[in-house]
Amino acid sequence: MRNNKTGSENRASIFLKGMVLVLALFISSCGYRVVGSTLLPFESINIKHVKNVTYEPRLEDRLHLALSREFTNQGIDVNTAGSEVTLEATVTNFELGAIGAVDEIIKEQELIMTVDIRIVDRGEITEFKSMTSPIKITFQSTGTVSDSVAHMETAIDKASSEIAKEIVGRIILKYAK
């Protein structure tokens, strides 16, 4: 005797596989594709020392660390020399703006950091000017001075990380074309 349960399970499985195939064909016919670091024509990058032309100290170190971390997360080796691709970054602007105050006491601030990027790939130069974090970076400035500074330091790390992700994303899109 044949088990009807097994037959209906097989039909359901075949139907689901067919639907997945149809969906995949539909999506690919619309021009969509997965874009990732596998499309990059290089396996390593040299990130030069980040320049900081603002008065805020240590931004260059934080951005360099964030860039190194993001490229590594994307499977790209970060070298000190010997790579065909070189990235140069300059922190051009750093601003703090009050966005929340009570009785003329600032409670919350916005951090804006702007970076210029220059990528040299086998003699070809690509520049991304005035890059900022794609999300608004804010921090609480209440409590003691050391608490406020600690919140600002965390916000700087967050801004550096978000800018690094944006830079890597733009590089991937540049080579995906």
137 plus 103 within the same structural domain: yes
For residue 105 the two structure tokens come to: 């006491």
Please tell me the distance from the alpha carbon of residue 129 to that of residue 136, in angstroms, as a whole number.
18
71 plus 104 within the same structural domain: yes
Could you give the angle at the alpha carbon of 33 between the alpha carbons of 32 and 35, nearest 5°?
135
Q: What is the pLDDT of residue 75?
A: 86
Could you give the angle at the alpha carbon of 88 between the alpha carbons of 47 and 171, nearest 5°?
80
Q: What is the pLDDT of residue 60?
A: 97
- pLDDT of 13 higher than 80: no
- Domain CATH number, residue 161: 3.30.160.150
84 plus 23 within the same structural domain: no
CA distances from 67 to 26, 28, 53, 106 (A): 36, 32, 18, 32
89 plus 160 within the same structural domain: yes
165 plus 151 within the same structural domain: yes
The pTM assigned to this predicted structure is 0.74
Length of the chain: 177
Is the distance from CB of 15 to CB of 54 less than 8 angstroms? no
61 plus 83 within the same structural domain: yes
Give the range of the structural domain holding residue 19, as residue numbers without chain letter. 1-33
172 plus 108 within the same structural domain: yes
Please tell me the distance from the alpha carbon of residue 177 to that of residue 175, in angstroms, as a whole number.
5
Q: Is the dihedral of CA 39, 46, 90, 155 positive or negative?
A: positive
27 plus 102 within the same structural domain: no
- pLDDT of 35 higher than 80: no
120 plus 155 within the same structural domain: yes
Q: What is the mean pLDDT of residues 100-125?
A: 88
87 plus 135 within the same structural domain: yes
| Span 96-106, pLDDT tens digits | 988 877 777 77
Mean per-residue pLDDT of the chain? 83
Q: What is the pLDDT of residue 68?
A: 95
Q: Give residue 3's pLDDT band: very low, low, confident or very high (50, 70, 90).
A: low
